[in-house]
Amino acid sequence: MDAKGQRGLGRLLRSFRFAARGFLHTAGTEQNMQLHLAAGGIVFAAAWYLPVDPAHIPLLIFLVGGMLALETMNTAIERTVDLITEDYHPLAKTAKDIAAAAVLIYAVTAAVVGVWVFYEPILQMF
């Protein structure tokens, strides 16, 4: 049976390996992903250090995880567009711009929620 028709634990583990390879490639080559990883580390360090409401921790996990997932998808879209055409094409540019806009919208939303989560704990320090 070929890999496409294969089922079971082996196929599942192979899928996880491919996903990890994709994440590591993105983390190693994309400056924006590196920025998001650093920001996520800062968010979790701040949540550990500051008196953040424990009920907000799942929200922070969701926001950081979503940001990393969306940046990974943006990178996949960029690579796919580059594979289809290396020549400049307005539709290719638009596709890349739209994917980048999705990342920006999520990043701004995450920042606003982050301010909401950290505002009181930061004020309590002073």
Annotated binding site: 11, 30, 71, 78, 96-97
Cβ-based neighbour number of residue 26 at 10 Å = 22
Q: Which string of b and e fits 6-19 if b means at least 16 CB within 10 Å?
A: eeeeeeeeeeeeee
Strands (E), the chain: none
Binding residues for a divalent metal cation: 30, 78
Catalytic site residue 71? yes
Binding residues for substrate: 11, 71
Length of the chain counted residue by residue:
126
Q: Which of 63, 71, 75, 99 is catalytic?
A: 71
Residue type, 120: E
The catalytic residue positions are: 71
